[in-house]
Amino acid sequence: MNVSQLTELLPVGVVLISALVVVFLDLILSPKERYILPMAAMAGCLLALGVLGQNYLSAVQLYKSAPPWFAGFAPQSAGGYKTAILGGAFVIDGFGMAISAVALIAGALSVLCSTHNDEDSALSKGEFYGLVLLAVSGMMLLAFSHDFLTLLISLEIMSVATYILAGSERDDVRSGESALKYLVLGAFSTAFLMLGMAFIYGSTGSFSLSPVILHSSDPRNYLVIGGFGLLVVGILFKVGAAPFHFWVPDVYQGAPTGVTALMAVGVKAAAFAMVGRLLFETFRAPGFREHWTGLVAAVAVLTMAVGNLIALRQSSVKRLLAYSGIAHSGYLLLGFLINRRADPAVMEESLHAVAFYLLAYGVMTLGAFGVVSLTREDGRSLENLEDYNGLAKEHPALALCMAVFMLSLAGLPPFSGFFAKFMIFSSAIDQGFILPAVLGILTSVASLYYYLRVVLRMYMPEADSASASCKYAWTSNLLVYGAGIGSVLLGIFPHWGIGMH
Amino acid sequence: MDVTGMPILADAGLMDFVAGLFSFKLVSCLALSAAIFSIGAMGVLARRNVLVMLISVEVMLNAVMLAFVSFARAMVNLGPPAGKTFAAEGGQIFALFIIAVAAAEAAVGLAIVIAYFRNRQTVDTRDIKAMRN
A170 inside 8 A of chain B by CB = yes
Residues of chain B with pLDDT > 70, as a percent, come to 80
> What pLDDT is recorded for position A501?
41
pLDDT by residue (tens digit) across B84-97?
556 678 889 999 99
For the segment B45-67, the average pLDDT, to the nearest whole number, is 94
What sign for the dihedral angle of Cα A382, A387, A388, A390? negative
User: Are B60 and A216 in contact (CB < 8 Å)?
Assistant: no
> What pLDDT is recorded for position B2?
45
**Which residue of chain A comes nearest to B72, CA vs CA?**
A202
- Which residues in B lie closer than 8 A to residue A205 (C-beta atoms)? 75, 80-81, 84, 87, 90
Helix (H) / strand (E) element for A473: namely none
Instruction: Considering only residues A33 and B98, tell me which one the structure prediction assigns the higher pLDDT.
Output: B98
Neighbouring-strand partners of residue A51: none
Interface test with A, best of B49, B98, B131 (most A CBs within 10 A): B131
Q: Which of B83, B115, B133 sits opposite A316 (nearest CB)?
A: B133
In 3-state terms chain A splits into helix, strand, coil percentages (rounded to 5) of 75, 5, 20
Closest CA to A457 of A408, A386, A370: A386
Interface size A-B, in CB pairs within 8 Å, comes to 138
Q: Which of B64, B75, B90 sits opposite A194 (nearest CB)?
A: B64
Neighbouring-strand partners of residue B26: none
C-alpha radius of gyration, chain B, whole number: 22
> What pLDDT is recorded for position A304?
93
Mean pLDDT by 10 residues, chain A (501 residues): 75 94 88 82 93 84 67 54 73 87 92 70 76 95 92 95 90 88 94 93 82 64 86 92 89 90 94 90 79 89 93 88 93 87 78 89 91 72 76 83 91 87 89 90 91 87 58 73 82 67 41
Instruction: For chain A, positions 311-370, list CB contacts with chain B under 8 A.
Output: 313-316, 319
